[in-house]
Amino acid sequence: MTSEPFTPELRSERLVLSAYAASDESDFVALFQDEAVGRWFGDGVRSAEADRALFARLFGIVYAEARFPVWAVRHEGRYAGHAEIKPSPEPWLDGHEIVYGLSRSSWGLGLGTELARLLTDHGHRTLGLAEVHATVDALNTPSIAVLKRLGFTQGREVREDDGSTTLQFTSRAADWPT
């Protein structure tokens, strides 16, 4: 089953976002298994088996049921990360949020800003979202800097059960550059 139109190909100056292919599984698992990257996703690094099961759910549930767009991020033709726009699973956040992560080899090149801009623009312009949210661990300063650079404003601070703090950021379509 095709993932279009829920996962259309997106392009920026240096990035191509496309639906995952079965051949991306090892790159996906490696990204989520890298402690420096995976710790910022959901509940953090899990087992490789759990990440393979998550990858399978992309095809068996997310794409098959057209739930929300999920992309493999490529830079110079190589897998560079993961991205999605989805209804927020947080009970305190009504709306859609962007989720993204880049492999360590892609850090320091400005690709995070380019990726978050591409996702936010798609959310506002294509999906018609009045607000696009992002939730970020308060210790993830690079991601916070990306969101602030793009004009996201900080909202709620949520204390998690493990003692960490999650920050909520919002981009409003009315403030998004045309």
Domains with residue ranges and CATH for the chain: 10-175 (3.40.630.30)
Closest by CA to 28, choosing from 1, 7, 5, 56, is: 56
Contact 72/25 with Cβ under 8 angstroms?
Answer: no
Structure tokens at 91: 């009970």
- The pLDDT tens digits for 56-76 are 999 988 998 889 999 999 999
Phi, psi of 63 (to 5 degrees): -75, -45
**Backbone angles phi and psi of 25, in degrees to 5:** -55, -45
Q: Is the pLDDT of residue 3 over 50?
A: no
Query: Residue 35 — pLDDT band, cuts 50, 70, 90?
Result: confident
Distance separating alpha carbons of residues 178 and 176, to the nearest angstrom: 6
| Among candidate residues 37, 8, 46, 12, the one with its CA nearest the CA of residue 106 | 37
Considering the entire predicted model, what is its pTM? 0.90
Closest by alpha carbon to 98, among 126, 57, 74, 60?
A: 126
Mean pLDDT of the region 128-135: 94
Q: How far apart are CA 106 and CA 81, in angstroms?
A: 8
More confident site: 163 or 18: 18
**Strand-by-strand arrangement of the 165-172 sheet:** 10-11, 15-18, 70-75, 78-87, 96-102, 131-137, 165-172, 153-159
Calpha distance 32→20 (Å, rounded): 15
Query: Mean pLDDT, to the nearest integer, of 79-88?
Result: 94
pLDDT digits (tens, 9 = 90+) for 112-123: 999 999 999 999
What ranges make up the beta strands (E) of the chain? 10-11, 15-18, 70-75, 78-87, 96-102, 131-137, 153-159, 165-172
